[in-house]
Homo-oligomer: A and B are copies of this chain.
Amino acid sequence: MNISDRALNMSFSPVRKLLPYSDAAEKKGITVCKLNIGQPDIVTPDSFFDGLHKFQEKVVKYSDSRGIIQLRETFSKSCAKDGMDFSVDEILITQGGSEAIIFTILAICNEGDEVLIPEPFYANYSSFTGISGAKIVPIPTLIENGFHLPSKKEIEKLITPKTRAILFSNPGNPTGTVYREAEIKMLGEIAKEHNIYLLADEVYREFIYDDKIEYTSVTNIKNIEDRVILIDSISKHYSACGARIGFIASKNSELLNYILKFCQARLCASTIEQFAAANLINTMDSYIQEVKRKYTNRRDLIYKYLKDIPGVISPKPEGALYVLVQLPVEDTEKFAQWLLTDYSLDNKTLLLAPGGGFYKDEKMGKDKVRLSFCSSEEDIEYGMIILKNALTEYNKLKI
């Protein structure tokens, strides 16, 4: 029987495909430091659980397809705090940032249309575009430039009559790169001159670790408001990944109205988790500050270790919860698997996300891995010691 081309062509999550080996290692009694996935260990704020327990309805009813008004108000206010102006009518609640991107691409791309994405990119962007049948055209960025954008001219070379949008995450997953004002303005100019959308995944917006970097949201660039779609989510910001609450914000009411059709098709986002999330407006400022302080320390810690491991090339991550590093091995997928099947140090080993999954052509990322620093300092420290020792041992084996 038939399997669709999109299902055949979609990859299994590169972050998740080593899990069976990891499970097997754990069954053998080995502790696995999981630096492969962006699952923070930081507690979800009390405000979320307070919101959850405030839900006292007797019937768990369908809610508004656009999202409950209380939650849209919460997001409108949290945007305002960050200097971004979106009214409740300019916001649609989605089942996580994932659904936000899927619905937006479904609304703007036909099969065969093209979406430019700076590469390396979040692996699920392939699935999100693949669902609509759109094609990713990578904008190559280099580790030696800290994964910052190439020139306007280089990007414009990639534009064809089928280009519909530039999708990017800023701060970057998997790179940890924060685009500067000049880069964001350049994207704005390109979008305007070539009449395409800018789809900005800013879910890590709060996590920038250098005081001298001033964050520029594409939503604040003038005269391109109608082509900007903001993707946001509570997942990382409030350490509530499992709630699956995100949103789309845009000044383009026509586009939002088309996206609403997809929201209506799935009726509504989870009602109770929306109520819980609406109460995040009552989160103490100290919570956010404390989270940022922790992540800053973790970023500093992982970078301190990385720059001292022989043969490892690592930019200093500027934001988000990740760093994409180059390892002195030929194939990081094989190395990552070997770590789980054949290696341990003091009965501990390491789970990494091989770099191939963050490139359209997997070979391009073969010498890289993504490390997540949203785990505890202890895990990061252990992980880095394991990485250093394992690299030495692995490279001895091959001689």
Contacts and interface: CB of A to CB of B under 8 A. Distances in A.
A355 interface: no
A41 interface: yes
Interface string A202-232: 0000000000000000000000001100000
A329 interface: no
Interface in A1-52: 1-8, 10-13, 16, 37, 39-44, 48, 52
Contact of A196 (B1, B39, B264, B271): B1
A226 B2 CA distance: 12
Interface string A71-111: 00000000000000000000000011011001000111111
A58 interface: yes
A1 B106 contact: no
Nearest to A127: B265
A164 interface: yes
Nearest to A11: B261
Interface in A351-378: none
B242 A197 contact: no
Nearest to A241: B62
A119 interface: no
Nearest to A132: B4
A193 B79 CA distance: 56
A287 interface: no
A128 interface: yes
Given A271-B242, A273-B273, A131 B109 contact: no
A396 interface: no
A267 B236 CA distance: 14
Category for how many chain A residues contact B = 35 or more
Contacts of A253: none
Nearest to A259: B7
Copies of this protein, total: 2
A270 interface: yes
Given A106-B6, A258-B3, A61 B242 contact: yes
A244 interface: yes
Which of A6, A37, A164 neighbours the largest number of chain B CB atoms within 10 Å of its CB? A6
B265 A10 contact: yes
A61 B108 CA distance: 31
A133 interface: yes
A240 B195 CA distance: 44
Contacts of A58: 43-44
Contact of A266 (B10, B96, B272): B96
A48 B265 CA distance: 25
A65 B241 CA distance: 13
B127 A106 contact: no
A5 B110 contact: yes
Given A6-B106, A244-B266, A272-B272, 9 more contacts: A1-B164, A2-B109, A2-B164, A13-B265, A39-B62, A98-B267, A128-B265, A243-B271, A244-B269
